[in-house]
A and B are shown apart, each in its own frame.
Chain A
Amino acid sequence: MTFTSPFAASSAKAGHGSIELAILPPDTPVLRNISYQYPLKLVAPDGIPPPEGDDDNTPRLIHTVFLLTYGGGIVAGDSINLNVSLESKTRLVLLTQGSTKIFKTPDPTLVSRQHMSVHVAPNSALVYLPDPVQPFAQSAFSQSQIYHLEDGKGSLCVCDWVTSGRPARGENWDIHAYTSRNEVWTCSKDVKKRLLLRDNLILDKHGRTGMRLSERMDSYAVFGTLIIRGRVFQSLSQHFMDEFDALPRIGGRNWGDDVQVELSAKEHRRVKRQQQETADGLIWSAANVRGFVLVKFASREVEGSRHWLRDMLREEGSMLKSFGERAVLCLK
């Protein structure tokens, strides 16, 4: 006797996952689909209303999804593949719980992989502020985050950062290879898709520098890139550019002839932050290119970068207002 299952055939593959954020008419954002397979795990707490709406496009609920892996890390040979899609007028926060640990591989050619493909509709926004990736000694890892913006609209604030390993165990960029790719494409129905931004980091033995990777890193233990684009994050982008402009000149001298002016509360906080940057050995730059604000930062220790990012986002405040405190959970 033949029996036809009334259910669709299972399409689940190891490491595959999918998040679909859609609008339930008239205006309620819901997670229409959230699925995952070992070793990927997704945790989605209930959506919460934003503390403050900025305009008509602010959805009633902001959803958060935690990206986790079983065992708290990625083992050699693991491959994770996540698809995310955001419908118009939705907002999603993607987070992790602790750094993504990459365990050592028995063979440098056995590379663990993580791929995320995100489709962002106009008037939707994504915040992706994970903990840093922490590749242990003798690990080989390659990740890519590809964002497709429909008609080039939609808002993004995504961070990609990596650390030197486990400094407490004396690890200092002792990895076999680490590559991380961030790409933003604009796609429209009838036009060929076009590359808006590519940020590709390649740490491996190539380059003929004759130096160890740790030397190439100039004694920094963290490197990060923050990519900001779109209407929702406009004032945040501006904040990064303004603060970069306000950084003191490198090699400038204090001749003592500046009139000591009374600092406003904001200027006072800025000076405090800049002093903290110096103390943490943090350097950063911001650039306004092709409709993005692209921020690069590096510091001597992980906590330096974490505090700095948090201070910058908090000082400006718009993200916390429109996405809630949860958005910066990984920076605590």
Chain B
Amino acid sequence: MTTTDDQQSLKDEIADLEKRLHDAKSRLNPSLEPSTLVKDEALHALLLLSDSALPLGSFAFSSGLESYLAHHKPSPPSASQLPSFHTFLRLSLSTLASTALPYVLTGHRHPEDVETLDNDFDASTPCTVARRASIAQGRALLAVWDRSYKAQYTDSTSAATASLTAFSKALRTSDTLNAHLAPLWGLVTRVLCVPLHEAAYLFLFSHARTVVSAAVRASVMGPYQAQAVLSSAELKERIRGLVGEGWDVRVEDAGQSVPVMDLWVGRHEKLYSRIFNS
């Protein structure tokens, strides 16, 4: 009987000590709270951008998957297209990392260069289908910024915010600006205080999610299989590796690593029937 009481009082004492330790720590380090504030700020923005309800219209694009499957008909026709899909996802991520990721990173690091980045990305996108998809999503992102986020991020001293506002304004009158997704993704994440690595990771992850979701709607796989692909260690490792590989690549050195991808995407227009815009 006494032992139980002793145990209980010891437990109370420990709880009390822990509480006092915590109080002492927080008094010692008053910057603890603001730092979690910054982290939460970034986390909040990350959650906004990763939400599948973000109105970018990404669901309308398969990034070449539909055309790829049409070029690789399984035999017999009843065979699963799943192996084809896995190959495509790898190639598609590799292409995106070699062509667009450097623009995301540079857009985040150098907000003032957004107009040049936009022009150079446009010059480097060789086919109308990919161009249409990139511009549609870039413009949608800009619209979300203008209509929804801008009011919350009124820090007019920030150079990034100023660049974004200027770009958005110039786009209305200019006939040379396009608003491609990659450089704008870098710039918008910078304005929303998302750290560079997270911004790049999310860019590639969102692409994987778009392709996987297109695969579900093209009846290549079911929704549970889709989640399994997205949560797989393989995908994590791949995205992490690609961000690492692309970290120091200059935009001048961005280029196509899977040349046949340009053909698949470019020939999407020639499909007899199609459910996606790219």
A interface residues (Cβ-Cβ under 8 A, vs B) = 179, 181, 194-204, 206-211, 216-218, 220, 223, 225, 244, 247, 249-253, 283-290, 294, 296-298
Contacts and interface: CB of A to CB of B under 8 A. Distances in A.
Contacts of A251: 70, 271-273
Task: Report which residue of A181, A204, A218 has the largest number of chain B beta carbons within 10 angstroms of its beta carbon.
Answer: A218
B94 interface: yes
Size bin of chain B's contact surface: 35 or more
A218 B64 CA distance: 15
Contacts of A247: 270
Contact of A194 (B119, B124, B126): B119
Interface string B105-125: 000000000000001101111
Given A198-B120, A249-B271, A283-B263, A207 B257 contact: yes
Nearest to B72: A218
B242 interface: yes
B237 to A, nearest CB: 8
Query: In terms of DSSP, what is the predominant structure of the interface of chain B?
Result: helix
Contacts, number: 123
A285 B127 contact: yes
A290 B123 contact: yes
Contacts of A289: 125-128, 131
A250 B267 contact: yes
Given A195-B120, A285-B263, A200 B242 contact: no
Contacts of A283: 71, 263, 267
Given A207-B97, A289-B127, 5 more contacts: A198-B124, A200-B253, A250-B267, A251-B70, A287-B126
A285 B273 contact: no
Contacts of A298: 259-260, 263
Closest 7 CB pairs of A and B: A200-B255, A285-B266, A207-B94, A252-B272, A249-B272, A251-B272, A198-B124
A211 B90 CA distance: 9
Contacts of A252: 272
Interface string B254-277: 111111101100110011110000
A202 B256 contact: yes
B11 interface: no
B123 A198 contact: yes
A285 B267 contact: yes
A180 B126 CA distance: 15
Contact of A250 (B91, B122, B256, B272): B272
B128 A287 contact: yes
Contact of B260 (A194, A198, A218, A250): A218
Contacts of A287: 126-128, 266
B188 interface: no
